[in-house]
Amino acid sequence: MCRIAGLIHRYQTPSEADMIRMRDAMQRGGPDDAGIYVNDTHHIALGHRRLSLLDLSPAGHQPMHSADGRVVLVFNGEIYNFRELRSTLQTMGYAFHTGTDTEVILYAYLAWGNDCWAKLEGMFALAIVDFNIQNLVLVRDHAGIKPLYYSISEEQLVFASEIRAFKALQPHWPENTDWRKYFYYSVTCPSR
């Protein structure tokens, strides 16, 4: 199952304590491991709760970084065709150090950029930060099976797998009273 969370602030680095509160509010969805990543230069914090299914070793720890540090990823879900993608990427010269689908996503992004999302078969929600182009991408599978909630304002972007993470960050988080309509629209009209 796993869980992901993130904070990006325009003016200041999110606190490690805020990210830990958000991440740990979702502990039941990822009881096996927990990780955070905080970048002072880019004012970003990422959190992950892990449910170990594929590679049970510590090598599957997230947030996961590319070997050159260009990209960092948090991922929730399962990629059904990751073995085929891994094989293709290996023929392109990418070396793998884990048996996880997470690492496959990381190198698929490096190989194909945003075109890689169409190659992923599975259920997933993820956030990937590319420091070379100073870009964050939030991605969900086409059917929206894995939840990914977000809030954006002039000062910050907050995202998480569960609403409880928002409440852990700010106990009096204002509820959008139209949430049902947006949820219904995104579930019933995924192609729009």
Q: Catalytic positions, please?
A: 2
What residues contact 169, with CB distance under 8 A and at least 6 apart? 7, 18, 21, 22, 158
**Three-state secondary-structure class, residue 33:** strand
Taking phi first (over 0 means left), then psi (-120 to 50 degrees means alpha), and beta for anything else, what does residue 177 get?
A: alpha
Tokens coding 139: 């991605």
Residue pointed to by tokens 């904070």: 7
Sequence-ordered list of residues with C-beta below 8 angstroms from that of 81, at least 6 positions apart, any chain: 119, 120, 121, 122
Beta strand segments in the chain, E = 3-9, 33-39, 44-50, 64-65, 71-79, 122-130, 135-140, 149-152, 156-160
